[in-house]
Amino acid sequence: MTEKTDRSFDGIAAKFAHNIYSSTKGKLRQLVLLRDLAELRLLQQPCQILDVGAGQGQLALALAAKGHSVHLTDISADMLQLAQQQAQQQGATNVSFAQIGLAELAATHRQQYQLVLCHAMLEWLAQPELAIAQLRQLVAPGGVLSLMFYNKDAKRFGNILFGNFDYVAADFQVKKKVSLNPQHPLAPTDVMQWCQQAGFSVLAKTGVRCFHDYLRDRSQQQSHFEQLLALELQYNRLEPYASLGRYQHLLLQAV
């Protein structure tokens, strides 16, 4: 069995930007996260935020534009360079950057934050359960972790719908990895258990892309985007739709 390793996006940052962030799935994901975060009471006034695995920083910079101070970290120098370029173009002065992994950050960083963001990172890590405990060290008592992860249940559901039966039977293991596909989709029941064991309570759960990825006519992802977005925002906190989101977004309070 191949040993699991953490994934860096050095060398493919531009490809990632085009295929993910510039697509309707990236745009929808961003808008759902911003809606969820906007409802947090702690963001009603200027707040210090840590973004772990910040990538190209779109969400962090959107929060910085609202007056919050954001510290962006990532293991990928290429990703952080793109984030810095965006910050310069936007004239953002309330942002800082550090190329550092979560394990080192948790071991050396003494500051705790009222809000920590960790979005679409957990599924790229070799030890996601340990990462939850490390994130807890960075959240101030009573503070919030915004955690979004790739939903294994939704991946199974989608692949069965599209007839990929052998792929599902093999538990999504393939000989040739697709570079932008998450390596380790996570079972929501496992993530919930890890979060509770680390000392978090669940404030809210949202499905991200509950309908977008299942459209039979994928051209409607662009042609009917506004209608699709409205439906996602209307239903993505209600079951069974919330649990069918390609990603799960959890707002977790440090207890």
Burial 182-211 (b: 16+ CB within 10 A, else e): bbbbbebeebbebbeebbbeeebbbbbbbb
pLDDT in tens, 226-240: 999 999 999 999 999
Residue with tokens 């699991």: 4
pLDDT in tens, 138-176: 999 999 999 999 999 999 999 999 999 999 999 998 756
Classify strands 113-119 and 69-74 as parallel, antiparallel or unpaired: unpaired
The pTM for the full model equals 0.90
